[in-house]
Structure 1
Amino acid sequence: MKVRRSIWRDASLTPRIMGIDARGYFPILIALYYPRAWTFSVAGLAIVAFYLMERKGYTLPVLMRAIRHRLRGSVVHGRAWWHHRRFYD
């Protein structure tokens, strides 16, 4: 019996263009909106930076979480905002 693959199997994968996350090509759209030589060079440098980031194993959301963790510090205080008492008897 042949098992068919679901068409939804790869729906949650991030799209890739030439091995780089598709979000890395967003600077090209900005460069196309404002076509100057320096904007295309900045967009090219951004794509190279995204490529190097992918080679190290980071994606854009993971990099943003790592930066947030560096800025916040390693200590996370115990209670969330919805657990704090707002009204006192």
Structure 2
Amino acid sequence: MSYLEGTIKKMLPKTYIRKHVAHEIYVAISHFKDMVPKMDKYIYNDGTAKDLMSLTGTIPALFADNTYNIPICLWIEESYPETAPICYVRPTR
């Protein structure tokens, strides 16, 4: 386990499968260097809030021979990997 992966594992509450989730996040940020992991408050559609791990940043997308950096946010629920991450595109000007 790398230092960064260990740091991510320490960020995660014990309600997560910490070793697995930390490794998955480490792999993602190794491929997408602009992604930043952090614990943040997620507001569900019914108004309830919960602290979840998020990955925020941009991912490159090739379209018509041009690369566009798409701003996204992935929310990883405590039940991951049983449930898929919640994904949003965060439009910018």
Higher strand share: 2
Task: Name the structure with the higher helix share.
Answer: 1
Compute the TM-score of the two structures, normalised by the length of structure 2.
0.31
Q: Which structure's CA Rg is the greater one?
A: 1
